[in-house]
Amino acid sequence: MTDQKLIGLAAGGTGGHVFPAEALAQEMLRRDWCIMLFTDERGMRYADSFPADILELLPAANPNANGVVAKAAAAWAMARALIKSWQSIRKYKPDIIVGFGGYPSAPAMLAARLSRTPHGVHEQNAVLGRVNRLVASKANFVAHAFPDLDRLPENCIGQIIELGNPVRDAIRERARAPFVAPAEFSGLDILVFGGSQGASLFSRVVPAALKTLPEALRSRIQVTQQVREDELESTKKTYDAAGIKSVLKAFFDDMPDRLARAHLVISRSGASSVTEIATIGRPAILVPLGISMDDHQTGNAKVLVDRGAAELIQEKDFVPERLAGSIERLLTDPVHLAQMAANAIEASRQDTTARLADLIEELAAR
């Protein structure tokens, strides 16, 4: 490792933060860099294929937890993580550190600032997340995914650049996969996922909506759905009773292939979900998470909705009757589905990972 440059990547909590960091790691590995990952135990659930030469598993706790004891525990975990990050940076001396957000990334990014290590921020959402907001003003660059970026501090000293969201190799390999519009009487593939952590709301509403569709349409549908472990059995029973073929899992490790096969996607509008739908190019119904901080998922969804690639249903309106109407209208209009798929591709950015890697190498060279 002594002759290679080293990049530190800080990401935690959810796949929405870890997956873009993994995409950048794959690109930097191709450029002969060594990879260092700062994350927590939750982040590790999405890092099975992360190409890290060095792993720093940081203690973490939600700083927004309720109660004095919980907040004190979170502060203590953050302090220990900051010390561990500082020690790791002193030991390995990364050339640059890039933060992808999530509260577990905060200690590494603060340690980068304190140690005067060059560092940058990548924001996946249309609203700058709280951790990225904390470190953005002193970062060497703030890269963002969507044309508009809300909550950006006014006193940023680094470069502000729109790049898009990096996508993992498995998604990039299926980019612009041809969309085959469903023929009359042929099968209809619906893919349902609520982000990397699943969505109980979808387990309640989607089966209830699909079972109200006309039998001629319902009999052609196969659903692939991400479902929480404790809801798999009840959701399966609902589909079986309605005569709907279904494949249900808590997590799909072949999501790119399933996304490429889908005629319609029903999803939350996390940044990675929106980006992957656009990269492969599939029609979608997007349901922003109602409790998301700063309502960033609505901003993410608008990128596809405004291009005519997706329909938006707010969580408060996400009921079986409303969803069933949208599904029936879309699945019975293959020409419109094909146009939505084409519009999704038009909204995608195919060069993001390489451009972000170029930016990092330019900064490291200085």
> Residue 342: which CATH number?
3.40.50.2000
Residues 206 and 259 in one domain: yes
Pairing of strands 221-226, 188-193: parallel
> Has residue 54 been placed in a domain?
yes
Name the pTM for this structure: 0.90
Query: pLDDT for 136-188, tens place per residue?
Result: 999 999 999 998 899 999 999 999 999 999 999 999 999 999 999 999 889 99
Q: What is the mean pLDDT of the chain?
A: 94
Residues 204 and 153 in one domain: no
Per the structure, the count of domains in the chain is 2
Residues 220 and 274 in one domain: yes
Residues 311 and 354 in one domain: no
Say how far apart CA 85 and CA 34 lie, in whole Å: 17
Q: Which two tokens stand for residue 341?
A: 């798929």
Residues 142 and 193 in one domain: no
Domain of 82, in residue numbers: 6-165+350-365
Residues 267 and 338 in one domain: yes
Say how far apart CA 44 and CA 102 lie, in whole Å: 13
Query: pLDDT for 33-91, tens place per residue?
Result: 999 999 999 999 889 899 999 999 999 877 777 888 888 998 999 999 999 999 999 99
pLDDT at 293 (0 to 100): 67
Can you say how many angstroms the Cα of residue 300 is from the centroid of all Cα atoms in its chain? 11
Say how far apart CA 94 and CA 53 lie, in whole Å: 12
Query: pLDDT for 192-202, tens place per residue?
Result: 998 655 689 99
Say how far apart CA 132 and CA 9 lie, in whole Å: 13
Residues 48 and 122 in one domain: yes
